[in-house]
Structure 1
Amino acid sequence: MNKKNTLPIILLTTLFFLWGFAHNLDPILIPHLKRSFTLSNVQATLVDTAVYAAYFVMAIPAGLIMKRFGYKSAIVTGLVFFAIGCYLFIPAANTQQYSFFLIALFIIACGLATLETVANPFMTLLGSPETAAQRLNLAQSFNGFATMLAPAIGTELILIHSTPDEQLKLMPAAARKAALAAEAASVKGPYMALTIILVIIAVVFLFVKLPNVQAAENKSTSKRGFLSILRHRHLSWGIAAQFFYVGAQTCIISLFVLYAVSVANLTDREAGHLASICGLVFLAGRFIGTFLMKYISSNRLLGIYAIINTILCFGAIYLSGSYAIYTVIAISFFMSIMFPTIFALGIKDLGPERELGSSLIIMSIVGGAIVPRAFGYLSDASHDIRMGYYVPMVCFVIIALFAFRGHRVVVRTNEQSVNAIY
Structure 2
Amino acid sequence: MAISAPANGSLSSVDNNGSNHRFALSALTSLFFMWGFITCLNDILIPHLKAVFDLNYMQSMLVQFCFFGAYFIVSLPAGNLVKKLGYQKGIVAGLVVAACGCLLFYPAASSHSYPVFLGALFVLASGITILQVSANPYVTLLGPSETASSRLTLTQAFNSFGTTIAPYFGALLILGQATNEIATSAESVQIPYLGLTAALLILAAIFAYLKLPHIASAETESDEVIEGSAWQYKHLVLGALGIFVYVGAEVSIGSFLVNFFGEADIAGLEELEAAKYLTYYWGGAMVGRFIGAAVMQKIPAGKALAFNATLACLLIFITLVSTGALAMWSILLVGLCNSIMFPTIFSLALNGLGKHTSQGSGILCLAIVGGAIVPVVQGFLADIIGVHMSFILPIVCYGYIAYYGLIGSRPSETIGSDESIEPNLNK
Counterpart CA distance in 2 for 1:279 and 1:299 is: 22
Match of 1:355 among 354, 358, 365: 358
Correspondence for 1:336:
339
Residue 134 of structure 1 contacts residue 290 of structure 1 at CA under 8 Å; is this kept in 2? yes
- Give the stretch that moved more between structures: 277-286 or 117-126: 277-286
Residues 9 and 318 (structure 1), Cα distance of their counterparts in 2 relative to 1, 3 Å cut:
same
Match of 2:302 among 299, 305, 309: 299
Correspondence for 2:375:
372
SS in 2 for 1:224: coil
Counterpart CA distance in 2 for 1:413 and 1:75 is: 31
Cα displacement string for residues 177-203 of structure 1 (whole angstroms, at most 9, x for unaligned residues)? xx0220111001110000011111111
Match of 1:34 among 39, 50, 55: 50
Q: Which residue identity is paired with 1:331?
A: V
SS in 2 for 1:410: coil
Correspondence for 1:139:
155
Cα displacement string for residues 59-88 of structure 1 (whole angstroms, at most 9, x for unaligned residues)? 111111111111122111100110000000
Counterpart CA distance in 1 for 2:22 and 2:418 is: 42
Counterpart CA distance in 2 for 1:12 and 1:411 is: 33
Q: Which residue identity is paired with 2:315?
A: L
Question: Residue 150 in 1 paired to residue 166 in 2?
Answer: yes
SS in 1 for 2:211: coil
Counterpart CA distance in 2 for 1:149 and 1:319 is: 28
SS in 1 for 2:413: strand
Cα displacement string for residues 264-312 of structure 1 (whole angstroms, at most 9, x for unaligned residues)? 2110011111111222222111112222213321110100010111111
Residues 280 and 229 (structure 1), Cα distance of their counterparts in 2 relative to 1, 3 Å cut:
closer
- Give the stretch that moved more between structures: 193-202 or 205-214: 205-214
The runs of 5 or more residues in structure 1 that have no matched partner are 169-178
Q: Which residue identity is paired with 2:139?
A: M
Correspondence for 1:239:
240
SS in 2 for 1:409: coil
Question: Residue 66 in 1 paired to residue 82 in 2?
Answer: yes
Match of 1:281 among 270, 279, 284: 284
- Give the stretch that moved more between structures: 126-135 or 363-372: 126-135
Q: Which residue identity is paired with 1:254?
A: S
- Give the stretch that moved more between structures: 261-270 or 344-353: 261-270
Correspondence for 2:202:
200
- Give the stretch that moved more between structures: 13-22 or 257-266: 257-266
Q: Which residue identity is paired with 1:83?
A: A
Counterpart CA distance in 2 for 1:350 and 1:239 is: 14
Q: Which residue identity is paired with 2:215?
A: V
The structure in which a higher percent of residues are helix is 1
Relative to the length of structure 2, the TM-score reads 0.91
Pairwise CA distance, 1:420: 4.4
Q: Which residue identity is paired with 2:149?
A: A
Pairwise CA distance, 1:124: 1.0
Relative to the length of structure 1, the TM-score reads 0.92
- Give the stretch that moved more between structures: 52-61 or 288-297: 288-297
Residues 137 and 268 (structure 1), Cα distance of their counterparts in 2 relative to 1, 3 Å cut:
same
Identity %: 39
Correspondence for 1:396:
398
Correspondence for 2:185:
183
- Give the stretch that moved more between structures: 150-159 or 277-286: 277-286
Residue 52 of structure 2 contacts residue 182 of structure 2 at CA under 8 Å; is this kept in 1? yes
Question: Residue 13 in 1 paired to residue 25 in 2?
Answer: no
Residue 250 of structure 1 contacts residue 368 of structure 1 at CA under 8 Å; is this kept in 2? yes
Counterpart CA distance in 2 for 1:213 and 1:420 is: 20
Q: Which residue identity is paired with 1:388?
A: S
Q: Which residue identity is paired with 2:184?
A: A
SS in 2 for 1:330: helix
Residue 222 of structure 1 contacts residue 353 of structure 1 at CA under 8 Å; is this kept in 2? no
Residue 238 of structure 2 contacts residue 408 of structure 2 at CA under 8 Å; is this kept in 1? yes
Residue 318 of structure 1 contacts residue 386 of structure 1 at CA under 8 Å; is this kept in 2? no
SS in 1 for 2:262: helix
Counterpart CA distance in 1 for 2:53 and 2:416 is: 55
Aligned Cα RMSD in Å?
Answer: 1.7
1:85-100, aligned counterparts within 5 Å? 85-100=101-116
Cα displacement string for residues 329-374 of structure 1 (whole angstroms, at most 9, x for unaligned residues)? 1101001110000000000010110000010000000011111111
Q: Which residue identity is paired with 1:38?
A: D
Residues 32 and 132 (structure 1), Cα distance of their counterparts in 2 relative to 1, 3 Å cut:
same
- Give the stretch that moved more between structures: 228-237 or 80-89: 228-237
Counterpart CA distance in 2 for 1:119 and 1:4 is: 16
Residue 24 of structure 1 contacts residue 254 of structure 1 at CA under 8 Å; is this kept in 2? no
Counterpart CA distance in 2 for 1:235 and 1:275 is: 32
SS in 2 for 1:264: coil
Question: Number of residues paired by the alignment?
Answer: 405
Correspondence for 2:312:
309
Residue 178 of structure 2 contacts residue 188 of structure 2 at CA under 8 Å; is this kept in 1? no
Counterpart CA distance in 1 for 2:289 and 2:149 is: 12
The runs of 5 or more residues in structure 2 that have no matched partner are 1-16
Q: Which residue identity is paired with 1:353?
A: H
Residue 238 of structure 1 contacts residue 345 of structure 1 at CA under 8 Å; is this kept in 2? yes
Question: Residue 102 in 1 paired to residue 118 in 2?
Answer: yes
